[in-house]
Structure formats: C-alpha cells, structure tokens
Chain A
C-alpha cells in the first residue's frame, strides 16, 4: 500500500540522508519527498510517499522516531488529509498553436507563468491525478512537452490536529493562543470537508 509519512526533522546537515538511508536499507523506493521549513524554528517538515506493506508502516514510523534528529512522525495514509503537488511543465508552442494550450490550461485551472515565441511554461497545483491528467493530454501531441518538474506530494491533515509530541513541545512561537481550550484536537472531531 501507499504510505504517506509526514515528519518534523531538525534542520541540520545530513538529516535527510539519515531519513533516506532507512528506506534504502529496506530496499523501499521513495516515490516522492518534499522538504521545507515548518511553523517551528529549526524544524523542517517533510512529506515522504512510498510503497510498502501495510504492516511495514508501523515499523517504519517506529524506526524513523529512533533517528535522533527526527522529532515527530505521522503516518497519514488513511486519515482525511489535503494533498497537493506542484508541477511546472514547459511545452513547445508557437504563436500559431498557443491558443489550444491556453484552452487546456483554462480547463485544468492551471496558469501560464512564462511565454516565449517557442515555448510556454504551465504551473499547476493539485492532486496527483489532476496533474497527471494534464500531462496526459499534453502528451497527445508528440514532442510538445519539453520539461516537467514536479514537487512531489505535500500533505496536511484536515481540521485541527496536533500530535502528542508537538503538543508536548508547546506552541510554535508564532502560533496563536488557543481560542477555546476544549477545541477539537483529535482526528475524530475534525470537521469534514469536501473530498477531492
């Protein structure tokens, strides 16, 4: 099954190697990995997607936690979450056949972010399947796609959720004070939003 791990890791040299090495050792291919700053100073947040057996999920999470620089790990394969990916796609387009692509971009709710006499660049944010849909349509014209750059998945649980680990660490410096002490904090109490 597809696992999606979200982890907070210390923003230090070599931390990514330690995380990646764990999957390498298990001979698990990492489908995608995105890393960037989080709401907490000194902590990066990563989303890692990989294919592994359902039993492996717990052990991978436990093993990730054993890494000194890993602060928190969440396995959100099945829980309600918002997932997005960003893609930049460069396609060959001349003034004479551009308009066809403009239409496509409109339909997929993507954007044109660069335009030259020979090419244009499309930026698209969305779930994986939508990005794949756009790429598929563009591929119908052979030789049209010049470059694709995809960010990999980013995932965030829906609703107000905080792990016990992050909770124990206290609020992030710029996190606003809780308006209501009894506010829903568990996955169960999350307000359902429209699925993708």
Chain B
C-alpha cells in the first residue's frame, strides 16, 4: 500500500542517510525490513509514531484490543513465515499485548512488538500510563529492548527482526520512550545492520552422531518419525518426506506439525498425543526407534514421561539445545537446523523394508477404521466433527484454518486433513482462547488470495469478538464457523471425566452470534442440523464479505480418545462403544 511518493521517499531514506525524527525512523526501518502491514492501537506515548505514519508506505490495521494486535501479528507470521508487527501505546496498551506475546513465545513465532513509553526523564516514576513492559515481557520474549535515544531506534528494530527469525524464532519487543520518538538522529539503514547472527554455541552435529542415527534407522524394526512445528520453521518438508519414503517410516505429527507432512500420504499416521489417534499413541509406545524432527516432547504429546515409549531409542533433531534431554532422555542428539541436519543424514540412509511394521499399525486401527464417519446415518443431531469434516471436503482442504482453543480445536485437528504447511494456525503451547479471530485477520493480510476459516468455540469467540469491527473496517473476507455447544466445552469435558460432571462455571450464555454479526454489518446464518451444513458452508464461501456460521452442535459431546494429563500414552479414555459416533475418522 501507500502512494508512489511515500514509497519513493521511504526508499530514498534507505539509501541516503537522512536526519529524521525517531518516530520517522521507526517507520523507515520497518519499510527497510520489508514490512507492508502493521497491527496496532494508538495512545499518548506512541502518538509521535502515529503522526509520522502518513509519510510511509505501510498499511496500519486498527485493532479493537491490543491482544488482537499481537495475535494478528502472530497469525500473519504463521501464515507467511515473515515477521508480524504489532504496535501499542505505553501502560495498558502494552500490557494488553502480553497474552499475544506469550502465545508467540510458546509456539516460537517471529513477531516484533513496538510500544511507546513515557519520556526517559520520568522513567521509573510511576508516571501516567507508565509500565515496565520490558520487565513484564522479559520471560515471554526472546529478547526485548528499552530505547531512549532516537539514534538507537533503527539498530534496535533491526536487531529485533534478526532475533525474531533466527535460530528458534520468537517474539521481540522494542519499547521506545516518547522523547526518543520526538528526538532526531541521522537515519542510516545500512549502518544500523545488526552484528552477524551468532548461532547457539551448543549446536552440535557430529559425524559420529549422524553415523549412529543412520545405524539406528538401518536396524530399526518399528521406527516412527515424530514431526513437529520445526519442520515448517526450517523448511524441511521435502527432507522429512524423503526420509520417510526412503526408509519406509511412518510419520506421526504434533498439533503444530499438522500440514508439515501431507495428510493424504500413505505413511502419515496422524496426530499424536492427548487427543491423538489411538493407533498412533499405541505405535509410539511399541516403537523401537523414534526420530523426533523439530518437536519438543511437550507434556501434551508424551503423557507421563516415565512411561513414554520405553522400548525405543530416540534420535532428536532440534535447533534449540535447551530442548534436548529436557523431558525425554535422548540417545542420539543432532542439534542444529532440521533441514541442514537431514540433508547431512539422508545420504547415509538407504532404502529399507518397513512393510511389517506399517501393516501392524494398519491392523491396530481395527474397529476405528471401519466405523467411518461418512457412513454413519444422520441422527438428526449436529456434531462438530461433521461440521469440520464438511468444511474440509467442501474447501478441498485448500484453506487456512485458524482455530481457537478447546474441543473444536481438537476436532479440527482430527477431522480436517491438512496437506500443506501453514494451513493450520492454532495456539498450541499457550492454548490461548480468543486467538482465532484476530490471528485469522493477520493470516488474511499475509495471504490475501487464500480462503481463511475461523473455527472457534462460543466461549473463545467472545473473548476477542470485538475484532469483527476490524474486519469490517478493513473490508476483508474470512469465513467464521462458531462451534456453539453452550459450554466451555473442553473444561466441561474435564469436569465430566475427572470432577463427577460438576459443571461449575462452564454453562455459557451467549449472544445470538448471527445478530451480533449483523450489528457489525456481517452476514451470517445459524445451522441446526447436519443436513444444512453443506449448503451453509457453500453460502459462506460464496458470500462477498465475511460470513459467520453459528453451528448449534450437541452440547455434551466429548473429544475422544483422551489421555488424562499425566497418564501413560496408552491409557486412553475411549468413546463408550454404544455411542453412535466414531472416535476417529479414516477417510483421508
């Protein structure tokens, strides 16, 4: 965006060092870093920066709550692989960003947040709207900066971009005092370049390690590849696929790994962990070799660590040395960028017959596989699984789905088959309710040509529903599916399983979401039966603008299978047999 004049002026600044105000330097540096869109909310301490915006070719999206800004930056980054940028004022503006920053931290998402702060002369005096945001965000950022001189702005922002994307990515916050924004300095983009990136000194890929790994793969009878978010972060989809195909090793995915290995691939087993497929978790328990690629053995994936996959040797290929041997004892650690490590490893791996093991896994699907969701007669009820499954079928899987957190998130993971990386955007590590709507807006800005779906629960949707206005103000099209069960469903499920169905504080009264959308000028439709789903999804897709579907689903449905937190991976709660629904789909 931006006029030609703005673009020419901004480009000239990048080449010829010029005296600019600190506020102008903020934008000039962002232009230099290739930023086109930012998500933010103004206020007194960041006003100089907002005042300077008109001179620069950057589009600013006005959010309705700063949490929305950090989630949008996050969704932008997840969808594109580029750094997302959020801007907020001091004090409450900055603290409102924090949930989104922590969300990005836990999922290793590169975002840069810029906050204004009070003038450096009154820092630390509890001045109006002063908050120690670098102190507050210290544990939830990869790094942060407090800048109080105009000349330090460009180097800080440029370092922030470098830190955000390098090694294991993550959020970086740059807090800029008001006097720094108002002061002037020579803007020299080239000179503000950060020092060369220093790889973590404990990265270690030794020849002996590669040889050992190759040896383990050669001799394994029951190997499994565990593929995580690191696969797409490192761009190692091809390498993982080559490894799997050449050595005929089945692949299990983490929640954030979904899409990093095609769902339709015959070697794809599906998702592992708390709500993973039963046969996947059983296979992991039975395996004699786990090859962990860009995943961190999170507790939602391992269940109890003392009973986790006891028969297997473990190879861990991971970019963050602090993750190796953290939760699970590793036999061969290859600490480095996944793609680079796999490129070194692949020449040592030769083709291998995996048929027996694959057949064993296939057999273990047993009854689950034959009770295909598609073949179940319509009972008149609406199940979330059907909704998700139909969205997947009708979109041909060619959509970016952004989920919130809860049961619907797990059903999405189970019933929407992701073929491509970056096609599922979800808060895995922090599990942040309210993530979906703003993150989807960010994703749409990153990929304007893509079809974007929000899948949210009635609870989480209400946490950030104010961003509907942002959608209207920006005139963007996304499709919203609310899986409305009248409960904080996932918590209700825990209460049902572990707290004697004492549904304390989980029944939820909601507004009429279609009317709510209407009040924003957004079209919508309520869906009560399975028979209406296909038509409703088609209507949403063909509508010119954003469209909201309010799916009134079964109220007390649960996600199966489920490993209770802290239990062994094979100790799953299964769907009671008399229930008509299958526990897992098998119609890829």
Contact = CB atoms under 8 A, between A and B. Distances in A.
Given A59-B326, A66-B322, A72 B163 contact: no
B200 interface: yes
A58 B139 contact: no
A17 interface: yes
Contacts of B143: 67-68
A58 B322 CA distance: 8
Contact of A14 (B146, B201, B325): B146
A75 to B, nearest CB: 11
Given A66-B200, A68-B143, A68-B163, 13 more contacts: A14-B134, A17-B135, A21-B139, A25-B139, A61-B202, A62-B200, A62-B320, A62-B321, A63-B322, A65-B200, A66-B320, A66-B322, A68-B142
B230 to A, nearest CB: 16
A108 to B, nearest CB: 41
B508 interface: no
A58 B325 contact: yes
Contacts of B200: 62, 65-66
A165 interface: yes
Interface residues of A, number: 19
A164 B322 contact: no
B138 A21 contact: yes
A55 interface: yes
A68 B198 CA distance: 9
B135 A65 contact: no
A18 B138 contact: yes
Contacts of A63: 322
Contact of A65 (B142, B163, B202): B202
B67 to A, nearest CB: 23
Nearest to B322: A62
A65 B325 contact: no
B338 to A, nearest CB: 17
Contacts of B142: 66, 68
A9 to B, nearest CB: 13
B138 A65 contact: no
11 contacts: A14-B134, A18-B138, A21-B139, A62-B320, A65-B200, A65-B202, A66-B142, A66-B320, A66-B322, A68-B143, A165-B201
Interface in B160-210: 163, 200-202
B320 A65 contact: no
A59 B326 CA distance: 7
Contacts of A67: 143
A164 B198 CA distance: 13
Interface of A is mostly: helix
Interface in A48-64: 55, 58-59, 61-63
Interface in A1-53: 13-14, 17-18, 21, 25
Contacts of A14: 134, 146
Contacts of B146: 13-14
Interface in B126-174: 134-135, 138-139, 142-143, 146, 163
A55 B325 contact: yes
A65 to B, nearest CB: 6
Contacts of B201: 65, 72, 164-165
Nearest to B321: A62
Contact of B321 (A18, A65, A165): A65
Contacts of A62: 200, 202, 320-322, 324
Contacts of B324: 62
Contacts of A68: 142-143, 163
A160 B201 CA distance: 21
Contacts of A55: 325
Interface string B356-385: 000000000000000000000000000000
B147 to A, nearest CB: 11
A59 B318 CA distance: 14
A28 to B, nearest CB: 14
B403 to A, nearest CB: 29
Contacts of B322: 59, 62-63, 66
Interface string B319-362: 01110111000000000000000000000000000000000000
Nearest to A18: B138
7 closest pairs, A vs B, by CB?
A62-B322, A62-B321, A68-B143, A63-B322, A165-B201, A62-B202, A59-B322
A58 B326 CA distance: 10
Nearest to B167: A66
Contacts of A58: 325
A25 B138 CA distance: 11
B368 to A, nearest CB: 38
A67 B25 CA distance: 26
Contacts of A17: 135, 138
B92 to A, nearest CB: 23
Nearest to A67: B143
Contacts of B326: 59
Contacts of B321: 62, 65
A70 B245 CA distance: 41
Contacts of A164: 201
A59 B138 contact: no
A68 B146 CA distance: 14
Nearest to B202: A62
Interface in B84-141: 134-135, 138-139
Nearest to B163: A68
A13 B202 CA distance: 26
A165 B203 CA distance: 12
B169 to A, nearest CB: 12
Given A65-B200, A66-B320, A59 B163 contact: no
A191 to B, nearest CB: 26
A59 B325 contact: yes
Interface in A136-192: 164-165
A72 B202 CA distance: 11
| Most B C-beta atoms less than 10 A away, residue of A14, A17, A25, A72 | A14
| Most B C-beta atoms less than 10 A away, residue of A13, A59, A68 | A68
Contacts of A59: 322, 325-326
A61 B202 CA distance: 9
A54 to B, nearest CB: 12
